Structure 1
Amino acid sequence: MTPGIVATTVAKIANPEGPGCCAIILTIVSYLLIVATFPFSLCMCIKVVQEYERAVIFRLGRLLKGGAKGPGIFFVVPCIDSYRKVDLRTVSFDVPPQEVLSKDSVTVSVDAVVYYRVSNPMAAVCNISDFSHSTRLLAATTLRNVLGTKNLAEILSERESISHNMQSSLDEATDPWGVKVERVEIKDVRLPVQLQRAMAAEAEAAREARAKVIAAEGEQRASRALKEAAEVISESPAALQLRYLQTLSQISAEKNSTIIFPLPIDIINNIVSK
């Protein structure tokens, strides 16, 4: 047995998952074709990816070592290499409106928007068949799960907290896929028409109640001020006369032809007593 065959046999035993004889033969033939058709083969061998893209290369079905290629020019071997481009830019999508039953048994329709990007191109290609579609489905499911633990008041007032919880849950679930969820925003919360009318009636009643309380407090303060003013005027009869003259001056300033002379209450009391 020749030394070359012995070396090949030993290598196969040491690494049973390595390329077989057929793979080696196909690789040699592919390189010979490249050399034979040079320089025309360069059109098939040289590929370019943009700054925001990466190329994951498979050689005979196996992931090529060295990680994703790019940006710029990279080299592939025809017939034995295949590659897939992955976009690293941030992608946004709308989560369809979800009918959610809140913690206090109120049905609401909520939609959101999710921003994500690919952080690990090799995991995004090898660990899941379609990371974009899977992320969309997971976002819709997570939205229902998170809102199901909140009551209506929390859904309406704590949108930022709900968005943060959704982002944390999605980011943890999509990390093995090589996907990074950057932001989640709750767009709109739609309530049933009957519930909207009930809430509007409740808010209107609350506003009317507050208005009545404010008016009553104003009247109470005004009555106290009038009482204090009456006590001050009663201490000096001249103060009442001065107030009377001031009132006549204000009436005459408006160019009115009618002048009102107030009748003292004491005179009326004397007439009634007689």
Structure 2
Amino acid sequence: KVDLRTVSFDVPPQEILSRDSVTVSVDAVVYFRISNATVAVSNVEDYGRSTRLLAATTLRNVLGTKDLSQILSERESISHIMQSSLDEATDPWGVKVERVEIKDVRLPVQLQRAMAAEAEAAREARAKVIAAEGEQRASKALKQAADIMMDSPAALQLRYLQTLNSIAGEKNSTIVFPIPMEFFHGFIHHPNPPHGDDYDQTIRQQNIHQTPTLKIEP
């Protein structure tokens, strides 16, 4: 009596040396059915056991030609290659291999730690690159703002007043900041105001010896 239904079996974990000399443990599951009961009984002694042994050797042979990165990322293509190879090899036994799936890939603990450290280093490198790009964009924006303010004295004065307003909102007890002497030229009265070069010399001396400040207290 031959069961014609689809049957599945697990391929035990196989220790495999990948093409880049990394030892991994891989297991799989295989789904097959009997396509020709007469051939399955007459051409092979035990079609089930023979298919299991062939699946294990095929798994080792296929994965031995792959790098570790391919084993981890190309499971679907590896499963398809195994299914085609097994189906072709078991056809004379009256067996039809319908599907093969890679279940698990186990890496050595040391390799897992090394890969985790490499991934962490890559993340830190990307974070530094992003931060550097942000600083570069901020520097360009500041330069553009400085160029605009240099071309517009009114904008510079407004920015100055905005900064003072921000400082005043910080609940400081006292704020002292310098004010250019030119602000007071209209309020300074001289009994004998100098003219020409004498006037310029007087203003320069006042700028040197006097530094008026504005003190704001809450």
The unaligned stretches of length 5 or more in structure 2 are 182-206, 212-218
Select the residue among 91, 105, 126 that pairs with 1:189.
Answer: 105
Select the residue among 249, 252, 257 that pairs with 2:171.
Answer: 257
Q: Does residue 141 of structure 1 match 2:61? A: no
Structure with the larger helix share: 2
Residue of structure 1 equivalent to 2:67: 151
Q: Which of 1 and 2 has higher RCO (CA within 8 Å, sep 6+)?
A: 2
Shift of 1:169: 0.6
* Residues in 1 aligned to 2:170 and 2:123: alpha-carbon distance in whole angstroms: 40
Residue of structure 2 equivalent to 1:242: 158
Shift of 1:248: 5.5
Mapped contact 1:251–1:259 kept (Cα < 8 A): no
One-letter code of the match for 1:229? A
Shift of 1:244: 3.6
Mapped contact 1:114–1:184 kept (Cα < 8 A): yes
Equivalent position SS for 2:20 = coil
Mapped contact 1:121–1:178 kept (Cα < 8 A): yes
Distance 1:199 1:96, change over 3 A: same
Shift of 1:271: 6.0
Shift of 1:221: 0.9
* Residues in 2 aligned to 1:250 and 1:186: alpha-carbon distance in whole angstroms: 63
Distance 1:162 1:94, change over 3 A: same
One-letter code of the match for 2:24? V
Residue of structure 2 equivalent to 1:91: 7
* Residues in 2 aligned to 1:149 and 1:91: alpha-carbon distance in whole angstroms: 28
Residue of structure 2 equivalent to 1:204: 120
Shift of 1:264: 6.7
Equivalent position SS for 2:65 = coil
User: Which TM-score applies when normalising by structure 1?
Assistant: 0.62
Superposed, which structure 2 residues align to 1:1-274 within 5 Å?
85-247=1-163, 256-258=170-172, 263=177
Distance 1:236 1:123, change over 3 A: same
Distance 1:260 1:227, change over 3 A: farther
Residue of structure 2 equivalent to 1:29: none
The unaligned stretches of length 5 or more in structure 1 are 1-84
* Residues in 2 aligned to 1:97 and 1:265: alpha-carbon distance in whole angstroms: 81
Mapped contact 1:248–1:259 kept (Cα < 8 A): no
* Residues in 2 aligned to 1:260 and 1:136: alpha-carbon distance in whole angstroms: 86
